[in-house]
Structure formats: C-alpha cells, structure tokens
Amino acid sequence: MRIAVMGAGGVGGFFGAKLALAGHEVTFVARGRHLQAIRDAGLVIESGVSPMHVKPARATDDVGTMDAVDVVMFCVKLWDVESAAAQLKPLIARGGVAIPFQNGLAAPDILMRVLGAQHVLGGVAYIAATIREPGVITHTGTMARLRVGAFRGGSYEKAVEFAEAARAAGIEIEVSADIRRALWEKFCFLSALSGCTCLARAPIGVIRDDRDLRATK
C-alpha cells in the first residue's frame, strides 16, 4: 500500500513507522530540522513496547513531488488543516482516501468539504507519543491503537483495506461501524480530562496521585 503520512509527529511517526517496516511504501511529510534528521539518520521511535528505526526513510516537505497514494494519514495540527487539505488533491486523485487522526471533531468535515466525502474516512488514535528531538519520536506507556470508519458517502471498503494493512503491520486497529460516535467519545473524554488539568493547573500525573483531585475525574 502507498501511504503518505502528513505530519510525522507522535501519531503519524509511530504508526507510519510500523507500516514502513512492514514493507509498505510510506512517505513522511515533515519540515525543518525534523525533516532533515529523518533524511540523514532515519526515523527513530523510542518505545518500551515497540522500539523502531526506519532507515532509510522516505521524507519530503513538498507533496507536489509525490505520486498518488492509496491512503493519506492526516496528522497535522488543527490550525493547519485548511491549508494542508488543498495539497492532498493530487495525492488522492486515483481513488485514494485521507484519514484524519487529530483530536477534536472539525478536521473530517473540513476535509470532506475540500476533497469530497468519497475521499475521506474517519480516524481515532489512542497513543501517548511526541517528538523528543528532530528525528526521534518517544512513545510513553503501552497504549497504541487506531479506529477507522466511513462517514456517509465514504467507502467502508477502503476503511477495511487500510485496517487489514495496519493489522498485518502489527497495529491494533478496529473498523468502527459508527466513526462519528467514536470521535465524540474521545472528544468527551479529553474535554473532561482537560478541564481537570486546567482547573488544577497540573499535569494528569499530579491529579492521579492526589485523592481529592482524582475524585474530580
């Protein structure tokens, strides 16, 4: 499968690395020092359960140089969705699909407006991972799974194809019959969690270790 990872941060970097090491043609779209480090030394995933090193790694900051792909794992920050979405049209021109894996609810609808519903699936990522330094992703904990699914007008078959490829690469993944609900479930969970951390002005570890703060969850 030909896959573009648009935004090679914690989510895209980790799952994209698994797919690349399984033999899929994965191109990481990154920028700046992160891009240069991936080009020079490959993409390193630090993880207690799934350490990886993709070297050499395909990487670019110019999607205009890429051929069409089967799947775009769309992992940019929400404020970049609108501008990045327009760049995807040539990548999915041959029947490909984009799967946004951001938190929140807005990205799929933006992509469907720009690309058409038939080219967009829904995705939910459950993982704690971040860029520790250029070219290095750190995965903390053991959680690392995905959910994908089709919206009205989207292709359930494409969701199944991606899930099968991901599962063969060692990724825990589920095809959801109601991906909109799955997005809302994560959104509600994170909203409550974020409310606690904002109110306490403390990270989640502090909240979990304090009996009174833990009760607020």
Query: Phi and psi at residue 66, in whole multiples of 5°?
Result: -95, 150
Are 146 and 15 within 8 A, CB to CB? yes
Label residue 59 exposed, middle or buried (CB < 10 Å: 0-12, 13-18, 19+): buried
Which residue has better confidence, 164 or 212? 164
Does residue 189 carry a pLDDT above 80? Answer: no
pTM metric for this prediction: 0.91
pLDDT of residue 56: 96
Q: Whole-number mean pLDDT of the chain?
A: 93
Residues 17, 77: Cα–Cα separation, whole Å: 19
Are 93 and 117 within 8 A, CB to CB? no
Percent of the chain at pLDDT above 90? 78
Does residue 210 carry a pLDDT above 90? Answer: no
